[in-house]
Amino acid sequence: MTRNIIFKNVGEDLTFKILPDSKAEKVKLLTDPYLLPDSIIKRVIETFESELELGLEKNPNTQSSLQMANTFVPKLLSGNEKGAFLALDLGGTNFRVILLTFQQDGKVDCFVQYYTVPEPLRLGEGELLFDFLAECMHDFLGKKGLLGKKLPLGFCFSFPMIQTGIDEGILVTWTKSFNCKNVVGKEVVQMLKHSFSKKEGVNVDVVAIVNDATGTMMMGSYIDKRTAIGMILGTGCNAAYFEKVERIEKWEGKHPGIDEVIIDIEWGAFGDNGVLDFMKTEIDKDVDEASLLVNSFTFEKLFAGKYIGDIVRRVLLLLIEKNVLSKSDLETWTFTAADVSNTLEESNLEKILENLKSKGFLKATLEDADIVHYVCTAISARGALLVSICLSSLLRRMDKEYATIAIDGSLFKHHPRYETYMRKFIATLAPNQKFELILAEDGSGKGAGLVAAVVTSLDTSLLHS
């Protein structure tokens, strides 16, 4: 099978430093399925583009695995925004309240306060959770001397939801460490507003609800006005991009003056309907079976930070079984995304060997370190390629003169090879598109406040289904 795309872009890294050919061949035999041939890459591209179109249809014959949610956000920052805006960022155990203030030179001052959601509130009655958010907002406004002042707020709600308007989001399911009662199927902005109304002095207007990919895209536009895609590449993975309104068949009615809106793809679930089964390895299937939500989040389970270390660990276990890699003296040992990053950070096999010995591989040799480096490279290359396939399709679809891709997330930020690999793969797969990759840190929180700044200048009556 031809593997021009993989070897043209990362071939120089897919070499062994000291491993003899006899062992190298055995390692390659087990890792070859992760080095996607050109024919499989072509099929993934076609599948993604087909699912994307299906997700925009009004009444598709079959359900797409891509939610293709309309965020109703029609533009990014203009540079003329003024005033103060709030953001509330809820997506994990710790959440943040943020105050953004635009200065005359267009720069934004940012004040952030962190709060922790206790476990009983994450698992208890939903109304109590929102009351707690309102209590924290009251505390924040009191500290900043803003009680009673009317301020617009952008709510970053990083859970699967169906948006029916710029300020309307219905929770589909809780994820992560949350499982509050009586919230799934309900409109969460109304719940937040109701809790705010119970706290004296919290005169806050929730003008927009966004997820972290949309927030990152907005944060990207603050850094670079040419931003057209926002992506989260961390524990999980998702992306948002600008779509022409005329292509969004499921957004019925007339939308005067609106040419494009941000679509939240929710591509972590790409393949949940089985369309990617053709490229999954046995280990991919095992990782899915061992996960909390089997047959869900198919795409991100192939590479995201929550899973990449476990994929490497399972490949290493196979190599131990085949007597290619030395055995650990520990009965159980882990391999994390941080271990993958640290392995590829090192060009020095001795340092990799030290890490292996800390995991109980007391009899490990430099040859073993060489094997681990190769396996981490192969798994990382596949992940960077899969993300690049989708980003390249979006770039070709939008066909803008220049498009910046704003990215936030620990995997992109800390993995030493991901950005380099992505640049090369995207340039190969979308050769006629000019693009840039930028790190848009804290996109989920600050981005939500920036969305609030944009929305206040719009006719929001048009921004609903």
Q: Which residues 6+ apart lie within 8 Å of 382 measured at CB?
A: 34, 35, 36, 302, 303
Nearest to 239, CA basis, from 225, 248, 224, 229 = 229
- What is the rounded distance in angstroms from the CA atom of residue 462 to the CA atom of residue 465? 8
Report the catalytic residues: 176, 212
Distance CA 264, CA 211 (A): 8
Q: Report d(CA 194, CA 64) in Å as an integer.
A: 34
295: phi > 0 → left, psi -120 to 50 → alpha, else beta; which? left
What is the distance between the alpha carbons of residues 16 and 22, in angstroms, rounded to a whole number?
12
Rounded CA separation 15/373 (Å): 9
DSSP 67-118: --EE--------S---EEEEEEEESSSEEEEEEEEE-TTS-EEEEEEEEE--
Tell me the Cα Rg of the chain.
23
